[in-house]
Chains A and B, each alone.
Chain A
Amino acid sequence: MSDDTLFARVKEEAHRSNPYPLFAALRECPVSRQEDGTYVAATHAAIASLLHDPRVSSETLPPADRPKTGNPFKDWLVKPVRDHITDTHRPFIFRDPPDHDTLRAAVMHQFTHQRVQAMRARSHVLVDEILNKLGDARSIDIVDDLAYPLPVTVICELLGVPPEDEEQFHGWATQLATALEPDTHQDDELRAENSRTFDAISEYMQGLIAQKRKAPQDDMLSGLATEGTDGAPRMSDFDLIATAILMLVAGHETTVNLITNGMLTLLRHPEELRRLREDPSRAPRVVEELLRFEPPVQFRTRKALCPITHGGVTIPESAPLVLLLAAGNRDPEVYAEPERFDPDRTDNRHLGFGGSLHYCVGAPLARFEVEAALVALVRRLKNPRLTADPPPYRQGSALRGPKHLRLTIDGIDP
């Protein structure tokens, strides 16, 4: 008999630093029902299967139901129309085909390998600039000093968002990322706050898009705002805003955790840190194993469109379905010694970037950024030591990572 409070405990902050024993318990059943009616898929096979299952929908957000303003004109006329628009023009991670495919294709059309390769080179330059600025510091917070600013700068440059506006949308991004956390829908206050944030960031994006139309530059937002793909018209303004926000938030809230989890993991495995320092060509293996071992996106929530039977459990229609990617990544049915960090493992079909239609768009960019960051950190930081292990964690359980990762160092090599 499985314990149907396991997933509730995953969400508790007390388990943030090490949720993996809970994941192991959840893996006892490939798919289990939790007491709140959520279903959790925890084995690699079940997750991989459900990721590809067309009966599983990504349209998980309930329709807008926002607090009234008190102004009857707004509440009865303006808001319903606007709410309808935001409901029907969600970013494509919350959409199913065929709309998902069309929107994603437009983004991929702009996300060229040339742009990614340019950002790969740029990441190395940015990392060095950031470290150089720290001078002869004797301590470093990996999160604030590097893991946050690097991906933010990269996504801003790629999209064509002015870096001086960063301060403004830093808070917005953090706020909107809570949409991926499982209990957001139940929390009225949080939803109201998200709704206000969405309005603010939409207005910002609208202005930026207008500028890009007037004076297009060589960036993704200009491309999305001015061209369609294959003769198809460009996406609607509402979809464009939603897409731009998605990319900006994704660039803010995921890679930061992969870099930080990476440095933390290397410090906990000094032999691997030493090997990476001596042989930077190991970086791709290290990053891929990190995506298995400490994935920044620990789970995603979907919805069953009709009853789905898996491993003897029937997920009822409309039930929320959690795909516990980070648990599948440590499934002993798939991995030898799954709890061991081993960059040399072969056949690493990890679920760190999800899979099937919604496979992470930014995956290649994230890999290059994290490689650049880790290679520079292990090469340049002199004698790095953790000041706290475990470090303090951010609140999120879906997007999981340290809030700070403070290291004591003996200096920074040039």
Chain B
Amino acid sequence: MSGAETRTVVVGASLAGLRGAESLRKSGFAGSLTIVGDEPHPPYDRPPLSKAVLTGEIAADATTLPNLVALDATWRLGVPATRLDRVRRTITLQGGETLAYDRLLVATGASARAWPDADQARLEGVFTLRGRDDAQALRHALTASPGHVLVIGGGFIGCEVAASCRTLDLPVTLVETGATLLARVLGQHLGSVVEAMHKRRGVTIRTGVKVKALEDDGTGRVMRACLGDGTAIPADVVVVALGAVRNTAWLEGSGLSFDEGGLDCDADGYALDTDGQADTHIAAAGDVARFPHPLYPGHPIALEHWGHAVAQGARAGRILAGHAAEPYAEVPAFWSSQNGITIKSVGLTEGADGFVIARGDPKEGRFLAVYGRAGRCVAAVAFDCARWLPAYAERIAAGAPFPPEPGGVDAGTFTILPLAFPEPAHEDEA
């Protein structure tokens, strides 16, 4: 199966694609390996793009990822895949060239959700932030001393961009439709802790209101944003940070089961067709893969996490190299760094019905919150206390009871607090 004649194609020159390719080689795959990427760049690291790249600490092109295993691969960069033919086992690239595969790793990731009005989205000064080129363009705009930056969307990217603007001493307003920043992930209680942190750093925050339209100055340059409450915010740089859509459009006609929320996979990591049958020639990894996670039953999930791309990429490489499928139960984990504060999370807060402050004190800026669902710990979020987190990751993996046992050092009061996640109805609106 992994003989020298076997051809493996990795679509997506991304973190998941790179680690998947390395894993194939480490797992003994000796056949030909081709890596296809729609961007002209070799795989690069995204987390710095909204932080150190925007502040100018590092250049966008310095983010190229280290390559940890000899790949002996053919790289096809700057050419998106446009079609997948599972009968002939070919991939069509833009321009019409086809690549035959015996094994395929789909790691095409996600794209920034565009501003809904296409004409407004095209105005000069309107940015999204997903790729390296986006970061470079935004960095360029921020160095031109803009009078006012507007960030639309109070998720992690929006918060990090606003924090970077303040590091550069730029005036910035963050508009979020929800009641607080990060409410969808952390709940309103901790969302307001984050909000206070940004306000102290000088970010102007408008919550519970949406941006209705972006207006230009008559020359195609954005000038202001009109809000739902009738007010307007002047802005010469607008960053649209409304989340991501999965890059699955190229799978149209392949017979695989997908939508903009991801490509469906089975528990082993193989892609599913529209009949729910696994195609064992194809695995998916990273942002694009939607899969059933044993710790979060109910519906399949697609995770946009750095560590997930690494772990799932590595696993996809192993199964494509012919190793037996293994259950994937990595506890989801991510970090964000804003205003010098590091927020780290393990597990998923989605669907949680309460949380406790288990250690420290939000007033001190250093604390750890544990989220519960139906009497089990499902997530923990640490603000500047990463060393406590591994203990909670173990408990989440073990499905330990919630609230967690009291009696630890530095323990909080363990009052179960309501989360107040926002109603999902408005979530896609700006």
Contact = CB atoms under 8 A, between A and B. Distances in A.
Direct chain A–B contact by Cβ atoms under 8 Å: yes
Interface of A: 48-49, 52-57, 96-98, 101, 305-306, 356-357
Contacts of A306: 405-408
Contacts of B388: 52, 54, 356
B61 interface: no
A98 B391 contact: no
A97 B409 contact: yes
B394 A54 contact: no
Nearest to B366: A101
B228 interface: no
Interface string B402-430: 00011111110000000000000000000
Contacts of A48: 390
A55 B388 CA distance: 11
B387 interface: yes
Nearest to A57: B409
Contacts of A54: 358-359, 388, 391, 408-411
Given A49-B394, A54-B359, A357 B387 contact: yes
A56 B409 CA distance: 7
Contacts, number: 46
A54 B407 CA distance: 8
Interface centre among B360, B364, B388 (most CB of A within 10 A): B388
B387 A55 contact: no
Interface of B: 358-360, 364, 366, 387-391, 394, 405-411
A305 B405 CA distance: 11
A54 B360 CA distance: 11
Given A98-B410, A305-B407, 16 more contacts: A49-B390, A52-B389, A52-B391, A53-B391, A54-B359, A54-B408, A55-B408, A55-B409, A56-B409, A57-B409, A96-B409, A96-B410, A97-B410, A305-B408, A356-B387, A356-B388
Nearest to B395: A53
Judged by DSSP, the binding face of B is mixed
Contacts of B360: 97-98
Nearest to A53: B391
A61 to B, nearest CB: 15
Contacts of A56: 409
A234 to B, nearest CB: 19
A52 B364 CA distance: 21
B342 to A, nearest CB: 15
A57 to B, nearest CB: 5
A31 B390 CA distance: 19
B405 A55 contact: yes
B390 A52 contact: yes
A49 B390 CA distance: 8
Nearest to B390: A52
Interface centre among A54, A306, A356 (most CB of B within 10 A): A54
A55 B411 CA distance: 9
B409 A305 contact: yes
A98 B387 CA distance: 14
Interface centre among B364, B409, B411 (most CB of A within 10 A): B409
A55 B391 CA distance: 10
15 contacts: A48-B390, A49-B390, A49-B394, A52-B389, A54-B358, A54-B359, A54-B388, A54-B409, A55-B405, A55-B407, A55-B409, A101-B366, A305-B409, A356-B387, A357-B387
